[in-house]
Amino acid sequence: MKKYFIQILFLLAVLCRPGFAQDTQKIIRRFPQDPQKVMAAYYILNSDSSMLHGTFRKFYLNGQLEITGDYRLGKREGEFLEYYPSGSIRRKMPYQNGFKHGTTLIYFPSGALAQKAEFRQDTLTGYLEVFYPSGKLKNKTFFRNGKPSGSVEGYYENGKLQRQTQYNEFGEEEGFAKTFFRSGGLETEAFFKNGKLNGDFRTYFKNGKIHTDYEHVDGNKSGRFSVYDSLGNLLNEGAYLKGELHGENKAYFANGKLKHLYLYRSGAMEGSQLNYHMNGRVQRKRRFSQNGTVCNAELYDTAGVLLSRKSYKHQLLDGESRTFHVNGKVKSQARYSKGKPVGKAFEYDAEGRKIKESMYTAAGAKVGNETVFFPSGKIRSVTPYHLNKKKGEYCAYHENGLLNVKGRYVANRRTGVWEYYAADGKLIKRERYVRGKLQEGER
C-alpha cells in the first residue's frame, strides 16, 4: 500500500508542473575552433530543434554576448537585443508572436542612434528615420503597409537638403524628384509617373550649367538628348526610341566643330559613320550593313592620308585587313576570321619591300616558320612556331648569307647550345640554356 501511495504522489507532482506534457531540453553549442567556449545556449521542447522555448543567448568568440531574447513555442517574443563585440548595444527589436512589432532601434558602435523604425506584424508602418553618427537626421521616410508613402527628404550632415521625392499610395515614385549638391545647388531633377521616369531627366554641374538632358517615356530613354560641358558647350546630341539610339547622332569638340556624325536605327549603326580630327579632316570612315553587324572601316591621319582599311563582323576583324605607310605603300596585310588572323600575313617597308612573313592556322594560331627579311630581300631570321609558341631550330643570318645565330626553342624558351658567329663565319661564343635560363660558366 505504501508503494502505491508513493507512485500516486509522484504522478501528481508531474501533472502539476507547468507545461507538464512538454519536455524542455537545454542546448549548448560550442565554437568548432575552440570547443571550450560557448557559441550559443538555448532551450528546445520535445527534442524538436525548431521549437525554441525560453531564453536564447548567442556569444562572440571573445565571450561577449551577441544576441539575447526569449522564444515562446518556437517564436520570438518580447525584446531581442544585439550587441557589438565591444559590448555596446547594436540593435533593439521588439517581437510579438514571432513578428517584429513596435519600435526597432539600431545604434552605431559609439552608442549614437543610427536608425529608428516602426513595425506592425513584421511590416514597416510609420516613420523610418536614419541618422548620422553625429545625431543629425540623414533621411526620414513614412511607410504605409511596408511601402514608402508621401514626401521623402534626405539631408547632408550639414543640414542641407540632399534629395527630395514623392511616393504614391502604391509605394511608387510620383511627380518631381530632385537631388542637390552639398553646397545646395541642384544636381539632378526628374519626373516620375507610377514609378517610372517620364519627361526630361536632367543632371547639372556645380556651377548650375546643364550636364545632360534625356527625354523618357515609361522608364525608357525616348526622344531627344543632349550632353554639355561645364561651360555650356554642346558635346553630343541625338535621340533614343524605346531605350535604343535611333536617328542622327552628333558629337562636337569644345570649339563647336563636328567630332562625329553617326546614324542609328533601333540601337544599331546604319550606313556611313564619320569621325573627324579637330582640323575638320575625316579621321575615320565606317560603313555598316546587315543591321550593324558588318563594317568596313578606313582610318586617316590629320593630313588626310589613309592609314588603314579593315573589315569587321560582329565587332571582330573579319576579312582583308591592311595598314599603310604615309606614302601610300602597304605596311601590313592579313586576313582575319572572327577576330583572328588566318593564312599568310605580311609586313612591308615604306619602299614596298617585304620584311616579314608569318603563317596562321584557321583557328588563328601562329605556326611554321616566321621569316624576317633584309631590305635586299635576303633572309634575316627564321623563327619556328607551333600553336603560337616558338618551337624548333632558330637561325639568324648576316646580310651576306652567313650564319649569325643558331639555337633551339621549346615552348618559347631557349634550350641547349646557342652559337653566335661573326660576319666572316667565325664562331664568337657558345651559350647553354636550360628551360630558358643561361647556365653559369657555359659561355
Nearest Cα neighbor of 222 from 244, 247, 251, 192 is 244
| Structural domain contains residue 170 | yes
| Structural domain contains residue 3 | no
How many Cβ atoms are within 10 Å of 375's Cβ, its own excluded?
12
> Nearest 5°: phi and psi at 180?
-130, 150
What is the average pLDDT score of the chain?
93
| Structural domain contains residue 218 | yes
| Structural domain contains residue 178 | yes
- As a residue count, the chain comes to 443
What lies within 8 Å, CB to CB, of 251 at 6+ separation is 235, 236, 258, 259, 260
pLDDT cut 90: percent of the chain above it: 93
Nearest Cα neighbor of 309 from 294, 324, 289 is 324
| Contact by Cβ (8 Å): 297, 284 | yes
Total domains in the fold of the chain = 2
Nearest Cα neighbor of 179 from 206, 215, 142 is 206
Query: What confidence tens digit (pLDDT) does each residue in 28-77 have?
Result: 999 999 999 999 999 999 999 999 999 999 999 999 999 999 999 999 99
Phi-psi region at 15: left, alpha or beta (left = phi > 0; alpha = psi -120 to 50) = alpha
Q: Last residue of some domain: 219, 236, 253? A: 236
Q: Last residue of some domain: 236, 263, 284? A: 236
pLDDT cut 70: percent of the chain above it: 94
| Structural domain contains residue 439 | yes
Q: How far apart are CA 155 and CA 93, in angstroms?
A: 26
Range of the domain at 219: 149-236
The answer to pTM > 0.85 is no
| Structural domain contains residue 77 | no
| Structural domain contains residue 85 | no
Q: How far apart are CA 384 and CA 204, in angstroms?
A: 59
Q: Last residue of some domain: 207, 236, 265? A: 236
Residue type, 208: G
Predicted local distance difference test score (pLDDT) of residue 15:
36
Element (H, E) at 7: helix 2-15
| Structural domain contains residue 287 | no
Residue for cell digits 508621401? Answer: 150
Q: Mark the ranges of the chain whose per-residue pLDDT is less than 50.
A: 1-21
**Residue 318 burial by Cβ neighbours in a 10 Å radius (0-12, 13-18, 19+):** buried
The enclosing domain of 175 has a CATH number of 2.20.110
| Contact by Cβ (8 Å): 345, 327 | no
C-alpha cell at 90: 547594436
